[in-house]
Amino acid sequence: MLVPDNRRYLPSHEWCLLDGDEAVLGISDFAQDQLGDIVYVELPAVGATVTAGQPFGSIESVKAAEDLNSPLSGEVVAVNDAVVDAVDTINRDPYGAGWLLRIRPADLSEAASLLDAAAYTAACEAGH
């Protein structure tokens, strides 16, 4: 299970990577592995507002359909249309080409409440 140290995580398996005044959002390697072959992803439009801990879209696989929850609140500034057209990118590269959204965070202090890589790894190993 790959868990990069430069990201923060939600217990529901979404990650955020702070990049200047923006944050990149995606799902973890653990999540894509648990989901199996991803067949569909629904993402918000540029300009939409997302709220920390609340669903911003959904992801479906051959096994399940799940909400995608936002690690941070903010405005969507970019959507990875490439993953909408080729959802298997999320399975192949969840931390790179498989990113989902870029947002402009409303409050960067929200990141402090997210799990670091060690805490997220421990939560996954505990079966959460």
Per-residue pLDDT, 69: 98
Q: Is the pLDDT at 57 greater than 90, yes or no?
A: yes
| Cβ(55)–Cβ(66) below 8 Å | no
Task: Give the mean pLDDT of the chain.
Answer: 95
Question: pTM of the prediction?
Answer: 0.95
H/E stretch holding 97 reads none
- pLDDT band of residue 128 (cuts 50, 70, 90) is low
pLDDT in tens, 64-100: 999 999 999 999 999 999 999 999 999 999 999 999 9
20-47 average pLDDT score: 96
89-118 average pLDDT score: 96
Per-residue pLDDT, 102: 98
User: Residue 42 is part of which domain span?
Assistant: 7-73
Per-residue pLDDT, 127: 80
Q: What is the count of structural domains for the chain?
A: 1
> Is 2 within the bounds of a domain?
no
> Is 98 within the bounds of a domain?
no
Q: What is the CATH classification number for the domain harbouring 11?
A: 2.40.50.100
Distance CA 64, CA 34 (A): 9
Distance CA 116, CA 73 (A): 18
Strand partners, 8: 16
| Cβ(14)–Cβ(68) below 8 Å | yes
Distance CA 73, CA 7 (A): 16
